[in-house]
Amino acid sequence: MEKIRKGKDGAKYFGLPRVSILEFHHVSVLLWECIENLNIKPDGIYVDGTMGGGGHSLEIAKKLSTGRLICIDQDLNAHQAAKEVLKEHLDKITFVHDNFGNIGSILESLGIEKIDGMLLDIGVSSHQLDEAERGFSYQQDAPLDMRMDTTNSFSAYELVNEYDEDELNRVIFTYGEERWARRIAQFIVKERQAKPIQTTAELVEVIKKAVPKGARKDGPHPAKRTFQAIRIEVNGELEVLQCAIDDVANKLKPEGRLCIITFHSLEDRIVKEAFRKQENPCICPSQFPVCVCGKKQTGRVITRKPILPSEGELQTNPRARSAKLRVLEGVEK
């Protein structure tokens, strides 16, 4: 981790390289539900682990007086855009170019032992979908990329052209929950024997050939699940999420809150199960009269059922339709 440096604007940065400021539009999902559930204290320490365009961060910062906000994002474009959105609150903010999965080492580097709350908005942002050259969207032609952190070397191109059939099937079936995963994997391997698959449009055509015509009549775009799966694998999203929940739960002060927004069933199941384990970590057999494993509770589940977007939000932001918010509260450890 690089040393913190201070910019002319007074904010702190972890060695962010200079990049051009690109238009970064992102609609914050479940914004007010998150702010309400974070129970923000004016002097608290909060983390936005997926800063994006800074919409959630802005509302958190507005509620802080002597408190501190740590803004984390692995997308350099997000940092440039969020600095503008948050320009009136830079004295309260530390920007970190990193993945939220490294939250333990990030807080250690900042000398922070405990936090009052953290927000995670999992998945791809509106901007990343809309910026064609990033290769996240199956609706726009672009080079195969899908890296949230463009400084990483592994991209969708390497995955599509180097994974063998079994690996492709595993990724597409597990992370995309795609019933035609094996057939799609077979068609990808066959197609790339002639030449590498280089663009999103080329990959979409391969997927369309693989998915039977009858199966393409109903439901989502035939490439949606495969693109989701490739994006998750390229960025290691689910593994990062699981580890981050464990680390954050141990860093939460009593009554501190962890709010996580997910957008598909795999993510939501991971969050639900991880929260349950924080609340009831005991691994003793059910027939034992008392716990002997010694595992201690690290959190309390606030949301037995996820919080969903309102009808009003869905009308203004259709991309929020699959969003779910779950909340965990820290306990005395």
pLDDT tens for residues 149-190?
888 999 999 999 999 999 999 999 999 999 999 999 999 999
- Euclidean distance between CA atoms 152 and 98, whole angstroms: 11
- Summarize the confidence of residues 246-260 as an average pLDDT: 97
Q: Is pLDDT of 262 > 50?
A: yes
pLDDT mean over 50-70 = 96
What is the average per-residue pLDDT within 34-55? 96
Read off the pLDDT of each residue in 102-116 and give the average, rounded to a whole number: 97
Residue 22 has pLDDT above 90, yes or no: no
Residue 1 confidence (pLDDT): 34
Band of pLDDT at residue 131, cut at 50, 70 and 90: low
Domains of the chain: 4-127+237-330 (3.40.50.150), 136-235 (1.10.150.170)
pLDDT at 331: 96
Over residues 129-156, the mean pLDDT reads: 86
Average pLDDT over residues 116-133: 77
Residue 276 has pLDDT above 90, yes or no: yes
What confidence score (pLDDT) does residue 126 get? 58
Report how far residue 69's alpha carbon sits from residue 94's, in angstroms, rounded to the nearest whole number: 6
Residue 125 — very low, low, confident or very high, per pLDDT cuts 50/70/90?
low
Rounded to an integer, the average pLDDT of 202-216 is: 92
**Considering the chain, what is the average pLDDT of its residues?**
89
What's the whole-number mean pLDDT along residues 29-45? 97
Instruction: Give the residue, 215 or 238, on which the prediction is more confident.
Output: 238
pLDDT band at 17 (very low <50, low <70, confident <90, very high): very low
Residue 70: closest CA among 81, 82, 127, 21: 82
pTM metric for this prediction:
0.82
pLDDT band at 130 (very low <50, low <70, confident <90, very high): low
Q: Quick one: tokens of 232? A: 């998750």
Report pLDDT for 7. Answer: 40
